[in-house]
Structure 1
Amino acid sequence: MIMLELGDNEFQRIRDIMYAHSGVCLSAHKKQLVISRLRKRLADLKLAGFQDYLGLIERPGSTEMSNFINAITTNETYFFRHSAQFNVLYEKILPELVAAKRGGAEPLKLWSAACATGEEPYSLAITCLEFFKMSRAPIKWVVYASDINDEVLERAKRGFFPDRSLRKTPDPIKDRYFYRVHSDEDPRQAGYELDHALKGRVEFLTHNLLAPFVYMDMDVVFLRNAMIYFDETARHKVTGLVTRAMRSGGYLFISPSESLKAEDYGLLPYGSSIYRKL
């Protein structure tokens, strides 16, 4: 394996470019992460080092910027991460939202912001399917899923997941919504294929959280494990834009490891890392 060196000046340029184009703030100790994430891209392009790569992505008209952002922002996740929040959604929030919408024509709208490879929005869709199968409420619903990373969105749309993505998924859910895929030739090709009908329940779209969302009046927004990549200024802007896309009475879910000043955004604490918009 070729040893790649990333000088301090080059690393700072990468940090500046990443922040300018995505709002993601790479901390000073992320240099090795950047090297590991970009190594394959440099090899694919047959570039000798980061100086050449920076010249490429900064070139006017270059199409490499999206590949650069994709390489840096790819993150691992799994189905029903922070499962207690999905339990609250199923047991308390969905019944409240359905009761408020009875007789109305508007569908229930859920949004997985920064959805990565799709585990979160599909978990939302499964939760809705399970709830409406039980309640038989005649309410239409839709799950929107967005990410800045086009590559992970394509993976999400394919609906194939390795075993590790379902490590917290109950067996009955696996049986109802997934098909087991075996591969004797290459174990890496083994995993789970999502039921085709479930794939159609999620609408994926490319979106930068620093820009207004294309849809409004969200009933439920999951904005989890994304804010850690932004500085305080960007976090404030993102949270403001997300809450602006929510309807009054909508619910915002954040990661249990994150925090926000609810009163700054017209939110009231509802539960563990869950907020309700006034």
Structure 2
Amino acid sequence: MEKLTPGIFAPAPQRASFGRMAAAQGRIEAKLMLRHGEQLLLNVLIPAAILVAAHFAPILGENTEFNVLVPMVFAVAATGAGFTGQAIAVAFDRRYGALKRTGASGVPPWTIIVGKILGVLATVVVQLVVLGAIALALGWRVSPGGAVFGLATLLVGVAAFTAMGLLMGGTLRAELVLALANLIWLVLMGILGWVGYSGDIAHAGWWNAVPTVALAGALVQALSLQVNWVAWASLAAWGAAAVTAAVRLFRFDG
């Protein structure tokens, strides 16, 4: 019988690398979001229904072109995934102690935040595939350069909305977040629809102070390889303010 060298089974505990921890947490968050029926309804089914309905019926007016409608729907989807979905998920994770228990397991707080961001990005990928396929089937066309610039613009918008969602979900009570996040989503969608119906979404003026309008306007021009500086400035301001506030005020329990 072969003798084992002493110490061959000696434990060597050490923290996993940043990449492994972030990837593991991201997989968990992505599965939770993509398996949740309400999240799928908010993030995929409602935007898809808006896209199809607005294509066949002039619900946003006769003058709203399909090439403008598609970016507006992407803005709706980004708001649902980044803001509303994250705010509610984080708030109830805090209420039931899920974030606190995860932190007690040795996972650093930043890993939890990064994991939630990766979960949102996974949802955005699903949104892009589903909504993009529907839009292409309905006749939407975009150049490769426009698609790349549009994707970059969308990711900036998603980052801003995710920061806002983490801020709300990480500071307020779950019951308040549930009501307020859905109400704000409805208000943002209403304003976006009104601006799209009554004017030019790419030149919305002061309406760019509303983040959904800013994202839609930035996307409209990005897909045509143009830059909407006012909309970009608005998104940057919302994102910077939300990140700064979230870093200072976010609580893992409550």
Q: Tell me the TM-score normalised to structure 1 length.
A: 0.27
Structure with the bigger percentage of strand: 1
Higher relative contact order, chain-length normalized (CA < 8 Å, sep 6+): 2
